[in-house]
Amino acid sequence: MTVVNDEEERNTVIRWLLHVLIALSVGVVAAVVTYSVEIVEHLREVILHFFLTGMPLSVVGYTLGWLFMVLTAIALTACASAVVVFYEPAAAGGGIPDIMAYLNGVHLRRAMNLKTFLAKAASCICAVASGMPVGLEAPLIHLGGITGAGVTQGRSRTLGFQTTWLQSFRSNEDRRDFITAGAACGVSAAFGAPIGGLLFVMEEVSSFWNLVSSGQIFLATMVCFTFITIINSIVEGKSLLGWVTNSASVLFEVNVGIPLNLMSVLPSLLLGAILGGLAALFTKANLVLTRWRRENLKPFPKRRFLEPIVLTGLFTCIMYLLATFSFCRYISSPYTGYSNSIRWGTESADRLFCAMCGEDSNRYSPFGSLSLASGKNVIRHLFTRQTAGEFPLYVLVMYFVLYFVFACLCCGTSVSGGLVVPSLVIGALFGRIFGLVLFYVGSDVNRGGYYSTKYSWMDPGLFALIGAGAFLAGTSRMTMSICVIMVELSSELHYLLPVMVAIVMSKTVADWLSEPLYHHMLHMDCIPYLGPALSHPEFEQLTAADVMATPLTSLRLREKTSVVLDALRNTPHNAFPIYENKTKRGGSVHQ
């Protein structure tokens, strides 16, 4: 008895250490993927700036810039699509449905192996860096789950090796817990949200939640967040060890804090209802496109390879041309008066796109600042406070329509990319449009951009944050985790109440209008996903004997071919138990 207890205590300690190993491993993976994308994006931005400002003739520079952006977008998307179509098709999409199905008890082939990991990482880097309206956050969650399954087993079926290490942790329960921890660390690394990562896997991903593992998973998310923050601080060049800036730990930090005004709850309620309807429309459009792809593209690899290339090339071409022919505006600094007056301004010149505005460095392109920026930088622009005049209403509406359409079209293509960042962009765009209309109608703003501090709660940047959380809740159908994630990624605590109201309203409306997107995708893949509620109440009265058959059809570890063929032909079962001898069971085999 003492030996058994000692072994259990040793395994408990090792399990905690394995969760720390998962956190550090996922942190390394997230850092490599994130900074690879940023390096490629920065390189494209530098070369584009050279073409636009370094050529003697502006027409030549603009033409070369257009060719460069379109061709590099096509090349990167081709790489992203080729890896998925011709190397590992299981790496397509964001991967959250795969994690949900696996943790629901469905063993998906190649969902958690090394080939899928490598293909997903490479495809995600190329797809996001190309400017395609997809995000890397959902792939990071899938990569985190694969990492959690890989570093804790001491074996690899893909590489064909197996060690005697960690044999005690190869049960289905332990593997499921490690995958859950890896997915939670993926959320923590992607958003800088350790608490949100824990709530995400509890609310959406994990079907069988083990309360004992809650502390272990929370430790993993905290360690992963700390590790990523240290890496970000080193990359930023901080000279003092241990000092961390907000930009290193907060993904979309708001630039100005605004005290809570309870009047914001009512418009947040309306904004959440509208975005819930838009999220349902987005879901239904994606399902229609998915069915069409299965009928017309899935049997033809070349068509699946070319579809994202064509969409990305068209998206980049349209965005560049519209930025080229759009108007430029002057940069101004926000100003706060003595006590009761505020004047809006713009962000600084180094954060806005000025290369298409000639030699005047005091002007910027509103549409170019959105269309030629990455998804994360677009969100940062939209979240800024006291910048009501930075993006005119017509620019926001035009960009919203184009981005919404192309995000629908690109979702489900044969690349590794998720819907989280596109959902945040769409929600932030509509929220800023909503807030801008409310600001102009309800405040006392004059032609100089001055307005009273009592109307600061109408700031369009504030409603961009509320809208981003509401639309993400409408597409993902989560509430608690989205509330916490929005707070952690923006460091905005004052307006948690309006954010919660909008999120709950959006999910309610979306649930009323359509089924969840991830569950629909699992159903279309014929994956038997079991929801939290039984479809027929009478199923609660069933016992194990109701779903069993006698006599039991079993196979030996070394069995004749004729016996195996007879079992497959004459029984409708999907799996058969295997026995090493009369008393020792050796596992099971599936058709």
**Angle at CA 406, nearest 5°, toward 402 and 409?**
150
Which residues have C-beta within 8 Å of that of residue 393, sequence separation ≥ 6?
A: 433, 436, 437
Q: Spell out the SS3 assignment of 228-291.
A: HHHHHHHHHCCCCCCCCCHHHHCCCCCCCCCCCCHHHHHHHHHHHHHHHHHHHHHHHHHHHHHH
The Cα angle at residue 543 between residues 539 and 549, in degrees rounded to 5:
110
User: What tokens were used for 89?
Assistant: 């098709």
Q: What pLDDT score does 426 carry? A: 96
In the prediction, which pLDDT does 323 show? Answer: 92
Q: Residue 398 is encoded by which pair of tokens?
A: 């035009």
Residue 1's pLDDT is: 46
- In words, the CATH class of domain 7-248 is mainly alpha
What pLDDT does 538 receive? 64
Is the bond leading into 551 cis (omega within 30 degrees of zero)?
Answer: yes
Tokens of 30: 């997230």
283/419 Cα distance (integer angstroms): 11
Nearest by Cα to 264 from 522, 454, 433, 30: 454
Q: Write the secondary structure of 87-136 as one string of H (helix), E (strand) and C (coil).
A: HCHHHCCCCHHHHHHHHCCCCCCCCCCHHHHHHHHHHHHHHHHCCCCCEC
Specify the amino acid at residue 450: Y
Measured between alpha carbons, how far is 165 from 17 in angstroms, rounded to an integer? Answer: 14
Three-point CA angle 60, 61, 66, nearest 5°:
100
Strands (E), 344-493: 363-364, 450-452
Is the pTM for the entire model greater than 0.85?
yes
- Round to whole Å and give the CA distance between 87 and 183: 24
What value, to the nearest 5°, has the Cα angle with vertex 524 and ends 519 and 527? 70
Whole-number pLDDT of residue 232: 83
How far is CA 572 from its chain centroid? 40
Amino acid letter, residue 103: L
Q: How many CB atoms lie within 10 A of CB 405?
A: 13
Please name every residue paired with 577 in a beta bridge, in sequence order, or none if there are none.
Answer: 588
Q: In this structure, which amino acid lies at residue 472?
A: L
Q: Where in the chain is the domain with CATH 1.10.3080.10?
A: 7-248, 267-332+347-443+457-525
Alpha-carbon distance of 151 to 220, in angstroms, equals: 14
Instruction: Say how far apart CA 108 and CA 169 lie, in whole Å.
Output: 20
Query: 297: helix, coil or strand?
Result: coil
Question: Which of 1.10.10.60, 1.10.3080.10, 1.10.3720.10, 3.30.70.360 would CATH assign to domain 267-332+347-443+457-525?
Answer: 1.10.3080.10
b/e per residue 454-463 (b: at least 16 CB within 10 A): ebbbbbbbbb
Q: What is the largest CA-CA distance in the chain?
A: 91
Identify the H or E element spanning 73: helix 58-82
Mean pLDDT of the chain: 85
Q: H or E element: which one contains 486?
A: helix 480-490
Counting as low any pLDDT under 70, the low residues of the chain are 1-6, 158, 160, 237-249, 255, 335-339, 447, 530-540, 580-587, 591
